[in-house]
A and B are shown apart, each in its own frame.
Chain A
């Protein structure tokens, strides 16, 4: 990339417009973290965000950070991410409300139990501290949970899983990126991209030239890719979530179930925050709240923790999942030279952002990554053999 930059600097044709090494489209956690990692490598990035920072999926998400996946790629990515989260408050100088209360993943059938035991074996072989729990052990770990009500027959638990405040993390990355020289343009929508020798980024306010463009536009990444003729298989799906009033600390781990599609935890502010997926949700961009969700969430969570029936719901909202056919992100190069994608996070893009940003900055600046990400390239969909992540909620 250094080569491209110097070549570009020799040309005079663009001298009247502004130049940036890298244009990042999307000011969510992924765009902001990438701008920071690039800035750390001395590369000048400009982030374009059509709303405010975190106004997409990031500011609406649950903030959960889970290493207990069933594909090696996902496990490894989140394990690396957790290492970064653990040092983040120091590195970025921000309170990100990070809490490693663990994730308790419930199994509801013998079949699921067996599958979870296999997952634990794989995860442990990769160095993750995770255990399989029998019914009695679940009760010990989380006395407030009604194990029978939840119809749980076993569970897995990983103490280093947890959650953080997505808005804070995004802000921490953005402020530090700016401190190191990145430019962040909020309320600036990218309307078009022209590819000539360089990329021309067109917004309502101005034009800008960049050597490299990174598409981190969340559920709009498909549209952004189309601007340069790249086709993405992603589809947007609404996902709803709610928050209750604040309580004393009563719930340590995040509780999730793939069968019920539910997850919830208690944030540091005391609120219980959680969501549940709707298997019949049609694809499309929609951030309306539904009564269906409120009923479904309330009836499920009160089955898990009966005393919550007295708990006041304060608000509910919705955000978009940017879903790929195998529920894994798309990272890396495309067939358009110097146009990169960081999208398709399918409901777990907050937790992997710290590590994907790092890897993408390596790919863009050094041309190679410190961890393999070939399995996550867009090319995999052409080959036709994809391994779907099974451990997804909603």
Chain B
């Protein structure tokens, strides 16, 4: 990987930024997440966390297993609030929460 390689696509974080952060003394996934926001995008780190863990491993020599133990933050996949909301009121239409064009024009937001 070279310096400008993007390791976290969702939040646009480069290899060099992660290396600099580890050099600054942040050597856990939780800290790097909070510092750079990588792992907090729509994919919730599924794409980038292992890459970042590998950078930490390279720089600190610690084991991958030990590095890859951040607290789980369910839900595992982005799910619209409406699904959980209707879940409580017991509506059978709970899963009918597709985003309209209108929603996107007001709020922006990316579909997966």
- Residues of B within 8 Å of A303, CB to CB, are 85
Contact partner of B85 (CB less than 8 A), chosen from A247, A270, A309, A315, is: A309
Q: In the complex, what residue of chain A is closest to B42 when comparing beta carbons?
A: A245
Interface size on A, residues (CB 8 A): 37
Contact partner of B82 (CB less than 8 A), chosen from A246, A250, A269, A302, is: A302
Q: Is the CB of A308 within 8 A of B81?
A: yes
B34 interface residue per 8 A CB criterion? yes
CA–CA, A243 and B81, complex, Å: 11
A289 interface residue per 8 A CB criterion? yes
Q: Is the CB of B103 within 8 A of A299?
A: no
B61 interface residue per 8 A CB criterion? no
- Residues of A within 8 Å of B87, CB to CB, are 295, 298
Interface string of A283-318 (1 = CB under 8 A from B): 000010100001111110111000111111111110
CA–CA, A162 and B99, complex, Å: 30
Q: Tell me the residues in window 53-90 of chain B with beta carbons closer than 8 Å to chain A beta carbons.
A: 71-75, 78-89
CA–CA, A314 and B88, complex, Å: 19
Residues A310 and B103 in contact in the complex (CB < 8 Å), given A298-B85, A302-B85: yes
Q: Is the CB of A54 within 8 A of B80?
A: no
CA–CA, A305 and B40, complex, Å: 24
Whole-angstrom distance from the CB of A289 to the nearest CB of chain B?
5
Q: Is the CB of B109 within 8 A of A247?
A: yes
CA–CA, A308 and B81, complex, Å: 7
Q: Is the CB of A250 within 8 A of B107?
A: yes
Whole-angstrom distance from the CB of A110 to the nearest CB of chain B?
27
Q: Is the CB of B71 within 8 A of A245?
A: no
CA–CA, A31 and B100, complex, Å: 47
A248 interface residue per 8 A CB criterion? yes
Interface string of A49-67 (1 = CB under 8 A from B): 0001011000100000000
Q: Is the CB of B109 within 8 A of A313?
A: no
B9 interface residue per 8 A CB criterion? no
Q: Is the CB of B109 within 8 A of A298?
A: no
Q: Is the CB of A313 within 8 A of B71?
A: no
- Residues of B within 8 Å of A71, CB to CB, are none
A381 interface residue per 8 A CB criterion? no
Q: In the complex, what residue of chain B is closest to A171 when comparing beta carbons?
A: B35
A244 interface residue per 8 A CB criterion? yes
Q: Is the CB of B30 within 8 A of A309?
A: no
- Residues of B within 8 Å of A94, CB to CB, are none
Tell which of B35, B85, B98 has the most Cβ of chain A within 10 Å. Answer: B85
Q: In the complex, what residue of chain A is closest to B104 when comparing beta carbons?
A: A310
Residues A313 and B84 in contact in the complex (CB < 8 Å), given A59-B34, A289-B73, A299-B89: yes
Contact partner of A296 (CB less than 8 A), chosen from B26, B42, B72, B88, is: B88
B23 interface residue per 8 A CB criterion? no
Q: Is the CB of A54 within 8 A of B34?
A: yes
CA–CA, A303 and B81, complex, Å: 11
- Give the 5 A-B residue pairs with the shortest CB-CB distance, closest first: A309-B82, A298-B84, A312-B78, A315-B73, A298-B85
Taking A52-B26, A245-B110 as given, write out 12 further A-B residue pairs in contact, using a Cβ cutoff of 8 Å, ordered by the A residue number.
Answer: A247-B107, A247-B109, A248-B106, A294-B75, A295-B84, A296-B88, A298-B83, A301-B81, A302-B81, A307-B103, A310-B99, A315-B44
Q: List B residues at the A interface (Cβ < 8 Å).
A: 26, 28, 30-31, 34-35, 37, 40-42, 44, 71-75, 78-89, 97-100, 103, 106-110
29 residue pairs of the A-B complex, CB under 8 angstroms, read A52-B26, A52-B28, A167-B34, A167-B35, A247-B107, A247-B109, A248-B107, A248-B108, A289-B74, A298-B85, A298-B88, A299-B84, A299-B86, A299-B88, A302-B85, A307-B107, A309-B81, A309-B85, A309-B86, A310-B80, A310-B99, A311-B80, A311-B81, A311-B107, A312-B78, A313-B80, A314-B44, A314-B78, A315-B73
